[in-house]
Chains A and B, each alone.
Chain A
């Protein structure tokens, strides 16, 4: 994969959160204790490509999403979006650059200002980034986009307030707001998690359509592998701050390599009572990120764990045809 065509290139991204400890202990200890929420992660996304980031809560997937667009400051790493070094930007220049990357959050009600009509909410980014010369022109752009995200009749919707909309409609407003500045990169952080089944598929389809139409690079953060399969070309599986496996969606589902991926896949309930699977169950629960196991972080729960797992580092290695896995023992 050549790096030049990638819209998003993230290398060695780290985000450590400092832990609060009693001051006396803090004085004594040389190294401040941290939670390694994201520990040395690299990935890239091309235009018109969706990369799924899946994992359990606490795996650090949201932190990856937010630090990639500097909503929280990464501890270390390099981020390039649309050939621009995001890490070196500050203040106003960072604000200007935000036109190129947007985020869609989980809860649309919390993402929209309840006192602002949805038309104005979606128009807001245009005002911030000085797109369009006057109100009329901007309103035209919003109306056009409302049609695209199926908020019809768009003129009527323009003056509505978030509370007058259903959950699915609200999320479509949030998507419209993210897309209106014509960004190159969108982070979707569990954008469909709160929606009902019948509405969720509609929002998924909309995101897929917009991705194609705007040639977006998409980081699709979710705990739901089935949605990721539907949207994404490639999927990265995260566990305790590390990516444990990356592969094309088809490859990942046909030949999952890392034990954690296998467990995750077996755990997804399948809406078909005739399918009975042999499930591998993990031992125990996700360990506390403040007290991470040495070596492979998954070894405490891994059904295939052996002695060697204690002193290996979880580096992704290519197992052939761009299928990366952090487990050297299963090929």
Chain B
């Protein structure tokens, strides 16, 4: 891995305390994002990918307990006081949420969103400067600057997501976390948004953490991929090797269950069974119940991360 990491996550553990028990949402997640790199976090619902993403900006709800380290510029975001984290958000690390309608304030013009964002970091910022920055950011995200005075309801879903991205990149952050940025959009619009990200990758010095359930999007955008299952990083590899030669049985099965339009008469697989209960986890491997290669050892002992030619995989098969 490259020396210049903009973000390093070490042994991240996140639990949610709920009335019916403790939910072990993320366990021992470690990975890093290098400068100018796009890291994809992929997994199915309930795998902890969004929780991980939100933890990067310390945006977890109050019943969450996070342990471990999220190192940004040599400091652990998790132990930083809230006041300092506020300085990071938007300026150093920003986030684009899944649902652009609920993420934008319906009674604020697009311009006001930028104003609010910039005032948070620079209280006496001039309006001209805001408009200048906002226009540049909107242009980069493919929105005309003429629309600065529009309200969110005047935009379509795709355009709103572009505004969200523009807000995310306005202050030129080093890291942008994109949490399912295209999930609520149509394929064609999705492609247009992906084009925005491709353009950002080329032109801006940003690291992108792309959270998605769509293996197709990861294949098109990411450089490195973290595959999560039931709160654990099951596999961590560069995108080419991961798709060519998936190591973890879960990754293998997942890739075989996505229909691919480039393959004729594809035989689809599925993964029998369902996610383990995150409140009441079995002692061994979390994928044990659904794994076709499961052994006795997998049931009793939780596998650690094994290194296989610069890749990481959490499976006893690679002991």
Contacts and interface: CB of A to CB of B under 8 A. Distances in A.
Contacts of A269: 190-191, 194, 214, 216-217, 219-220
Interface of A: 56-57, 166, 168, 196-202, 204-205, 223-227, 229-230, 250, 253, 263-275, 279, 281-282, 285-286
Given A205-B268, A285-B156, A267 B259 contact: no
A201 B259 contact: yes
A230 B270 CA distance: 14
20 contacts: A196-B213, A198-B271, A201-B257, A201-B258, A226-B258, A226-B261, A253-B264, A264-B188, A268-B261, A269-B214, A269-B216, A269-B220, A271-B218, A271-B255, A271-B260, A272-B260, A273-B220, A274-B244, A275-B262, A286-B186
Query: Can you list the 7 inter-chain pairs with the closest CB atoms, starting with the nearest?
Result: A269-B216, A267-B191, A202-B270, A226-B259, A198-B271, A201-B257, A196-B44
B146 to A, nearest CB: 14
B20 to A, nearest CB: 14
B200 interface: no
Contacts, number: 116
B274 A197 contact: no
Max chain B Cβ within 10 angstroms of own Cβ: one of A202, A223, A267: A267
Interface in B237-262: 239-240, 243-244, 253-255, 257-262
Contacts of B1: none
A74 B261 CA distance: 34
Contacts of B119: none
A230 B259 contact: yes
Contacts of A200: 257, 270
A270 B187 contact: no
Given A273-B240, A285-B156, A285-B158, A267 B190 contact: yes
A227 B270 contact: no
A166 B45 CA distance: 12
B215 interface: yes
Interface in B179-196: 186-192, 194-195
Nearest to A263: B188
B159 interface: yes
Contacts of A270: 216, 219-220, 260-262
B269 interface: yes
Contacts of A204: 259, 268
Contacts of B259: 201, 204, 224, 226-227, 229-230
A247 to B, nearest CB: 15
A327 B140 CA distance: 34
A271 B264 contact: no
B37 to A, nearest CB: 14
A201 B189 CA distance: 24
Contacts of A272: 219, 243, 260, 262
Nearest to A226: B259
A219 B309 CA distance: 48
A281 B193 CA distance: 11
A301 to B, nearest CB: 9
A30 B235 CA distance: 65
A258 to B, nearest CB: 14
Nearest to A253: B261
Contacts of B257: 197-198, 200-201
Nearest to B261: A226
A56 B194 contact: no
Nearest to B212: A269
Given A196-B45, A196-B213, A267 B187 contact: yes
Nearest to B241: A273
Contact of A197 (B158, B186, B192, B213): B213
Interface in B260-319: 260-262, 264, 266, 268-272, 274
B116 to A, nearest CB: 27
A264 B261 CA distance: 12
Contacts of A253: 261, 264
